[in-house]
């Protein structure tokens, strides 16, 4: 059994935040079309993502946060019916449209379904091509293009619903996963490892003192060699010592050198290399179990090629 799942849902395309917004539906088209064109999609087991049950979202979010997003969606529906605007602004970069609620439930649901299949042994690992992304979503707050923290919800789900005792969350997005940190800091069952451009949006992460966080700031213009040093010097020893029973990846590809939302210099080969390191950790401690969820990545060609590199390693093709 060495199958890799590919989870997505059509509703993830319908959420959008206005013309010209970088976190756009075309990101998923670029990934899908490129995986199809390169033949990689044929090697994956494709699944339609279900919606996450609200009770599972509560593993990482307050009931108030969930109710607030649902209430904003209901209010928007009423306003639109009365000829009002099509978006509700959450922060300067983040807004919801009438499809955001469903898309966010399917994005988190993809991570949960992938977790079920991987723990059941039906898949070795899985990639969730979903949006909205999740790693800036805090326990009580949507921000930075994110509404529900897909990876944090799934990590807690693996612990609470499947009885795992230790899981790792690894985040290679160019931005610090402040939402994930907000949710998991101080939870000794979860080790969070990341690198991130610093100082940079969302302007935190460098002074985290919780024992289960290993978030390594890197200056702008850092390239693959700097990142590989962090992985070998910092991440791998901690990951091996922690011996996670499953690894969740916040797979953002905006540290790519062509991505204009970040100023780092990774290339496709770096994403393949990082994925190989994580896969080796998973094979040693976690029966190979990895669930990877799309986060950032905004230059469409670089995004598609980087996802290809990442998924090729996961699927061994």
Distances (CA, A) of 47 to 6, 34, 119: 6, 18, 16
Separation between Cα atoms, residue 173 and residue 161, nearest integer Å: 27
244 vs 252, beta carbon nearer Zn ion: 252
C-alpha distances in angstroms, 264 versus 28, 45, 270?
22, 32, 12
Residue closer to Zn ion by CB (options 7, 172) is: 172
| Positions 217 through 256 that interact with Zn ion (CB under 5 A) | 252, 254
* Residues of this chain, 266-295, that bind Zn ion according to CB under 5 A: none
Least separation in angstroms between CB 192 and Zn ion: 16
Closest residue by Cα to residue 202 from 81, 93, 60: 93
Q: What angle do CA 191, 196, 201 make, to 5 degrees?
A: 115
Nearer to Zn ion, 4 or 292 (CB): 292
Q: Which two tokens stand for residue 260?
A: 């204009």
Q: Are 282 and 125 in contact (CB under 8 A)?
A: yes
Give the contacts of 180 (CB within 8 A, at least 6 positions apart).
Answer: 134, 135, 149, 151, 152, 169, 171, 192, 250
d(CA 133, CA 301): 18
Q: C-beta of 314: minimal distance to Zn ion in Å?
A: 20
Which residues are within 8 A (CB) of 276 and not within 5 positions of it... i.e. 6 or more apart?
Answer: 313
Shortest distance, position 136 Cβ to Zn ion, whole Å:
8
Residues 252-271 that bind Zn ion (CB under 5 A): 252, 254
Only one of the segments 39-47, 71-79, 167-175, 272-280 lies at the binding site for Zn ion (rule: CB under 5 A); that segment is: 167-175
Closer residue to Zn ion (CB): 214 or 264:
264
The nearer residue to Zn ion, 7 or 196, going by C-beta atoms, is 196
CB of 63 to Zn ion, least distance (A): 27
Q: Which residues are catalytic?
A: 136
Candidates 30-38, 145-153, 175-183, 220-228: pick the segment binding Zn ion (CB under 5 A): 175-183
Q: Kindly list the strands in the beta sheet with 44-48, ordered across the sheet, starting from the edge strand earlier in the chain.
A: 44-48, 4-8, 125-128, 290-294, 247-251, 167-171, 190-197, 213-218
Residue 151 contacts residue 134 (beta carbons within 8 Å): yes
Could you tell me the smallest distance in angstroms from the CB atom of residue 263 to Zn ion?
12
With contacts defined by CB under 5 A, name the span among 58-66, 110-118, 153-161, 168-176 that binds Zn ion.
168-176
Q: Which C-beta is closer to Zn ion: that of 173 or that of 181?
A: 173
SS3 at position 232: helix
Q: What are phi and psi of 214, to 5 degrees?
A: -130, 75
- CB nearer Zn ion, residue 252 or residue 265: 252
Q: What is the DSSP letter of 265?
A: B
**Which one of 27, 32, 175, 305 is in contact with Zn ion (CB under 5 A)?**
175
The binder of Zn ion chosen from 16, 173, 268, 270 (CB under 5 A): 173
User: Contact region for Zn ion (CB under 5 A) — 23-31, 38-46, 172-180, 187-195?
Assistant: 172-180
Does 109 interact with Zn ion (rule: CB under 5 A)? no
Cis check for the bond before 132: say yes or no (omega within 30 of 0): yes
Cβ-closest position to Zn ion:
296
Q: How far is the CB of 175 from Zn ion (least distance, A)?
A: 4
Binding site for Zn ion (CB under 5 A): 173, 175, 252, 254, 296
């Amino acid at each position: 059994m060495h199958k890799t799942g590919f989870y997505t849902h059509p509703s993830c395309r319908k959420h959008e935040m206005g013309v010209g917004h970088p976190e756009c539906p075309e990101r998923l088209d670029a990934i899908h079309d490129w995986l199809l064109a390169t033949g990689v999609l044929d090697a994956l087991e494709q699944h339609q993502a279900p919606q996450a049950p609200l009770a599972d979202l509560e593993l990482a979010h307050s009931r108030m946060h969930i109710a607030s997003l649902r209430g904003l969606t209901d209010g928007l529906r009423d306003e639109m019916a009365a000829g009002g605007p099509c978006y509700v602004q959450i922060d300067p970069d983040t807004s919801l449209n009438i499809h955001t609620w469903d898309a966010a439930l399917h994005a988190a649901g993809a991570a949960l379904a992938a977790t079920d299949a991987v723990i059941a042994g039906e898949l070795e690992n899985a990639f969730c091509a979903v949006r909205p992304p999740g790693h800036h979503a805090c326990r009580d707050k949507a921000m930075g293009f994110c509404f529900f923290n897909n990876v944090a919800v799934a990590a807690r789900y693996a612990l609470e619903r499947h009885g795992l005792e230790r899981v790792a969350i690894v985040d290679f997005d160019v931005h610090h996963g402040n939402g994930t940190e907000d949710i998991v800091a101080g939870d000794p069952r979860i080790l969070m490892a990341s690198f991130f451009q610093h100082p940079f949006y969302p302007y935190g992460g460098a002074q985290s003192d919780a024992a289960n966080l290993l978030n390594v700031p890197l200056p702008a213009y850092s390239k693959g060699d700097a990142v590989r040093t962090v992985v070998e010097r910092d991440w791998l020893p901690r990951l091996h010592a922690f011996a996670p029973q499953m690894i969740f990846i916040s797979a953002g590809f905006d540290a790519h050198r062509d991505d204009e939302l970040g100023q780092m210099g990774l290339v496709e080969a770096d994403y393949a290399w990082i994925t190989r390191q994580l896969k080796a950790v998973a094979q040693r401690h976690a029966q190979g179990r990895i669930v990877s969820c799309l986060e950032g990545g905004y230059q469409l060609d670089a995004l598609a090629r980087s996802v290809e590199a990442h998924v090729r390693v996961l699927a061994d093709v």
